[in-house]
């Protein structure tokens, strides 16, 4: 069974996610969980796929059936919205995992461009090896990487805002790209 359809089935009935060895459905705060390193890459991709599948269902009969379960476009959209809301701050930590969004977001992003001071603040050349002093600093990043989505919390909704913990604090285009698709979906709905 594909991950997407497995998730779809699990969303509509009370099934133990351990029945499917490829996914783990959610943890306490309601976020999908797949792996400890950059888990939000799986969440944003799955969210985008759920919305794509919901759009397909909406255009082709509106439901999918598997055994005794019925998956509707509305149930997929609702679950995708929960994932988007979690990423943007509706979670136990009340933290947005999109840098620069909301009142509380990561301050120690694992990203050289945001952790090394600007040329205005530090006019002298910073060599590659000299950059490590900024990587290991406990100070917030001097440059805010607005819009970047980082790896996200662990399987217990815990997040260490530490740029040395790349598993949780590193941004990536493969995390952001599917999230843009999900946001476009919800923007078009409004």
Is 110 one of the annotated active-site residues of the chain?
yes
Could you say which of 3, 154, 161, 162 is catalytic? 161
Strand partners, 66: 69
**pLDDT value for 74:** 92
Token couple for 158: 């815990």
Query: Which residues does 145 contact at the CB level (< 8 Å), separation at least 6?
Result: 99, 100, 109, 111, 113, 114, 171
Determine the 3-state secondary structure of 107 from DSSP: coil
**pLDDT value for 135:** 84
Whole-model pTM?
0.84
Query: Which residues does 38 contact at the CB level (< 8 Å), separation at least 6?
Result: 151, 152, 167, 170, 172, 175
Is 170 one of the annotated active-site residues of the chain?
yes
Is the Cα torsion angle 75, 76, 82, 88 positive or negative in sign? Answer: negative
Separation CA 166–CA 180 (nearest Å): 22
**pLDDT value for 123:** 86
Separation CA 116–CA 114 (nearest Å): 6
Let me know: does 80 contact 90? Beta carbons within 8 Å.
no
Could you say which of 108, 110, 111, 157 is catalytic? 110
Is 161 one of the annotated active-site residues of the chain?
yes
**pLDDT value for 6:** 53
Percent of the chain, pLDDT > 70? 85
Query: Which residues does 127 contact at the CB level (< 8 Å), separation at least 6?
Result: none
Let me know: does 29 contact 87? Beta carbons within 8 Å.
no
State which residues of the chain have pLDDT below 70.
1-28
Separation CA 143–CA 95 (nearest Å): 19
For 83-103, the pLDDT digits (tens) are: 999 999 999 999 999 999 999
């Amino acid at each position: 069974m594909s991950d997407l359809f497995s998730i779809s089935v699990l969303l509509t009935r009370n099934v133990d996610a351990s029945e499917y060895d490829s996914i783990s459905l959610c943890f306490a705060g309601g976020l999908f969980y797949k792996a400890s390193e950059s888990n939000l890459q799986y969440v944003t991709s799955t969210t985008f796929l759920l919305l794509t599948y919901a759009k397909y269902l909406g255009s082709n009969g509106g439901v999918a059936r598997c055994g005794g379960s019925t998956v509707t476009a509305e149930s997929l959209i609702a679950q995708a919205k929960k994932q988007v809301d979690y990423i943007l701050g509706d979670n136990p930590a009340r933290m947005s995992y999109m840098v620069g969004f909301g009142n509380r977001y990561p301050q120690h992003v694992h990203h050289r461009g945001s952790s090394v001071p600007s040329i205005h603040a530090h006019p002298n050349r910073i060599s590659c090896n000299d950059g490590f002093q900024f990587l290991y600093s406990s100070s917030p990043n001097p440059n805010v990487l607005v819009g970047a989505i980082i790896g996200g919390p662990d399987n217990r909704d815990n997040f260490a805002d530490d740029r040395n913990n790349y598993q949780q604090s590193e941004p990536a285009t493969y995390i952001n790209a599917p999230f843009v698709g999900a946001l476009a979906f919800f923007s078009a709905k409004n």
